[in-house]
Amino acid sequence: MISIKDLTKVFQTKDQEVRAVDELNLSIDKGEIFGVIGYSGAGKSTFIRLLNRLEEPTSGEIELNNENLTGLKKNELRLARQEIGMIFQHFNLLWSRTVFDNIAFPLEIAGVSRKKREERVNELIELVGLSGRGGSYPSQLSGGQKQRVGIARALANNPKVLLCDEATSALDPETTDSILDLLVGINEKLGLTIVLITHEMHVIRKICHRVAVMEQGKVVESGDVLDVFLHPKEKVTKRFVDQVMGDPDREDSLNLIQENYRSGEVIQLHFVGENTNQALISDLSRKFEVDVNILHGKITQTQKGAYGTMLVQLVGDEEVVNQSIEYIRTTSVEVEVSPNA
């Protein structure tokens, strides 16, 4: 669907050359929700603006359905952009136009007849949950309603791809969840490919099928969301996973736990999918003469299934503790032994 090869964007400032996107390579499948996450300055906003050439790449290629977007002339690009919708963090609505007219605007530009515009706009108003608000102005809408208008407008020309540039960052948590649910519904109903950038792992966790982690203009890690949650390799990825799993100071926490629980072995358990329902703790207590103290635990849901972690202390004879750890390794639950402080 989307193939990105050696994509690079260099900005020349007064003092230095800044490589905002640095030889980035990605492949995004048709019909998936693909997340790009990174902290401020990682290059993610520049990257998504390169996808529809709101920013011109310094080098590299972007292919959409085997068409090289980077090689298109201005008129050709205008037509190609009709297949790429985009929603923004701050909505970018026309404040002097009603909800209806905001959604109709790209259809006017495309030369769609008044009758067909009216049919399409009413269909979209219904789709995004704004029935009865077509005559309202943006100033009369909540943040979530404004973003629903932005989504409807982005869908006006039946695009194949929807780009979301920090689309929920200006919204409160409850409204964020409702917008994310809407995007999932649109993805499932229309088969739309969605590329979403964010700095919030909650957004990735809730709706994305795959994710790429950006740092200093590069993709440092990518894969299925559940796999990235389970096996984060890079330090920046671990920080993002800890946003959702509730321990942003994981290393400090482990050191503190080791100081306070020197008499036993502290281990971290990772549960995936159906394993989150596994009665492992009671099973250990029955099979081995060890005391199991639960120190911390959390389960979260991704598009591919549940993922849970639990930090426990095993107290008992050293040999028996080691036997219990080896027993855990024979199950489908992964175990990580914390290093001694």
Return per-residue pLDDT of the chain as tens, 341 residues. 899 999 999 998 888 899 999 999 999 999 999 999 999 999 999 999 999 999 999 999 999 988 999 989 988 988 888 899 999 888 899 999 999 999 999 999 989 999 999 999 999 999 999 999 999 999 999 999 999 999 999 999 999 999 999 999 889 999 999 999 999 999 999 999 999 999 999 999 999 999 999 999 999 999 999 888 888 899 999 888 887 766 555 555 556 655 665 567 888 888 876 655 567 888 888 889 998 888 877 777 787 777 788 888 888 898 999 999 999 888 878 888 866 54
Compute the distance between CA of residue 226 and CA of residue 243 in angstroms, rounded to an integer: 15
Compute the distance between CA of residue 124 and CA of residue 118 in angstroms, rounded to an integer: 10
Q: What is the pLDDT of residue 251?
A: 56
Determine contact, residues 133/145, Cβ cutoff 8 Å.
yes
Q: What is the pLDDT of residue 341?
A: 40
Among the listed residues 67, 54, 76, the one whose alpha carbon sits nearest the alpha carbon of residue 9: 54
Compute the distance between CA of residue 33 and CA of residue 49 in angstroms, rounded to an integer: 17
Q: What is the pLDDT of residue 298?
A: 78
In the chain, the percentage of residues whose pLDDT exceeds 90 is 59
Q: For the residues of 219-256, what is the DSSP string, one character each?
A: EEEEEEHHHHHHS--SHHHHHHHHHHHT-TTHHHHHHH
Tens digit of each residue's pLDDT (9 = 90 or more) over 11-53:
988 888 999 999 999 999 999 999 999 999 999 999 999 999 9
Tens digit of each residue's pLDDT (9 = 90 or more) over 101-117:
999 999 999 899 999 99
Q: What is the pLDDT of residue 104?
A: 97
Ordered domains of the chain (ranges, CATH)? 2-234 (3.40.50.300), 246-337 (3.30.70.260)
For the entire predicted model, the pTM comes to 0.83
Q: For the residues of 257-297, what is the DSSP string, one character each?
A: HHHH-TTSEEEEEEEEGGGGG--HHHHHHHHSS-EEEEEEE
Determine contact, residues 196/33, Cβ cutoff 8 Å.
yes
